[in-house]
Structure 1
Amino acid sequence: MFSIKKRVLTVAAAAAAAFSLLAPTGTSFAIDHIPCRDGENFLKIWSHLGGSSSVDCYANRGRIGFGGWWIDRIYTGNNDLMYYDSNGADVRINRWTDISFPNRPPKVRVIEIL
């Protein structure tokens, strides 16, 4: 009986140790798609695809798919940004940058707030 109890405790301790090694530590971050409001310093992206256009705002560190939309303008606000375009380029844009792409907008797969 004692050996079974000891074995169960050993297995439980091993499972707890494995979980603590595999589980992420510290604060986790997730990018959020938020309503755009004037005067806020969130990431703001003007884009289009086909006949549709959109203005989207994002907050918090993280990465999100952008669906291959063409980006017309980016205001980074207080965020450092990395975008990954469909041609395979990884482009970093520093905070407090307002950039337009009037002639050759990038087609973006993923955006990431750093």
Structure 2
Amino acid sequence: MFLKGKKAIGALTAAVAVAATLTFGVPSPAFAIDHVECVGGENFLKIYSHLDGRQSVDCYANAGRTDFGGWWVDRIVTGNNDLVYYDANGDSVRIDRWHDISFPNHPPKIASIEIL
């Protein structure tokens, strides 16, 4: 009886080891948007914005979603990225790659952005 119990524990241990190997050993796609340094010639997402008298130009790479802090956006250059921005009113707007859009009169106030 004791021997059967040891075999069952051994089999369970082996099954857990195989599951852990499959879980941690198989690479999966990374979905982590990165705030990166704006570099000329790169095709990053580039967003020109302002808030409370401050101006900002921010670049992003890689798929994922991040908070944008409610800044007013003056211009978006998508580069090679498909973008969805979520404005402060709860609307979402998709902009396909290779677009350069300016908002001279009514800039959107952006809550978050997502690179697809």
- Correspondence for 1:113: 115
Q: Amino acid of the residue matched to residue 7 of structure 2?
A: K
- Deviation, 1:15, is 8.0
- In the TM superposition, what whole-angstrom CA distance separates every residue of 1:31-61 from its partner, at most 9, and x where no partner exists? 1111011222110000111122110001111
> Is the partner of 1:5 in helix, strand or coil?
helix
- Correspondence for 1:44: 46
Partner Cα separation in structure 2 for residue 32 and residue 92 of structure 1: 19
Structure 1: runs of 5 or more not aligned: none
Partner Cα separation in structure 2 for residue 11 and residue 107 of structure 1: 54
Partner Cα separation in structure 1 for residue 90 and residue 20 of structure 2: 37
Structure 2: runs of 5 or more not aligned: none
- Deviation, 1:29, is 2.5
- Correspondence for 2:98: 96
Partner Cα separation in structure 1 for residue 29 and residue 55 of structure 2: 35
Seen in structure 2, the aligned counterparts of structure 1 residues 109 and 19 have a Cα distance that, compared at 3 Å, is farther
CA RMSD of aligned residues (A): 2.4
Larger Rg: 2
Q: Amino acid of the residue matched to residue 72 of structure 2?
A: W
Mapping of residues 1-114 of structure 1, within 5 Å: 1-12=2-13, 13=15, 17=19, 26-114=28-116
Deviates more, 1:25-34 or 1:93-102: 25-34
Q: TM-score, normalized by length of structure 1?
A: 0.83
Seen in structure 2, the aligned counterparts of structure 1 residues 99 and 16 have a Cα distance that, compared at 3 Å, is same
> Is the partner of 1:8 in helix, strand or coil?
helix
Q: TM-score, normalized by length of structure 2?
A: 0.82
Residue identity over aligned pairs, in percent, reads 62
* Paired residue total: 113
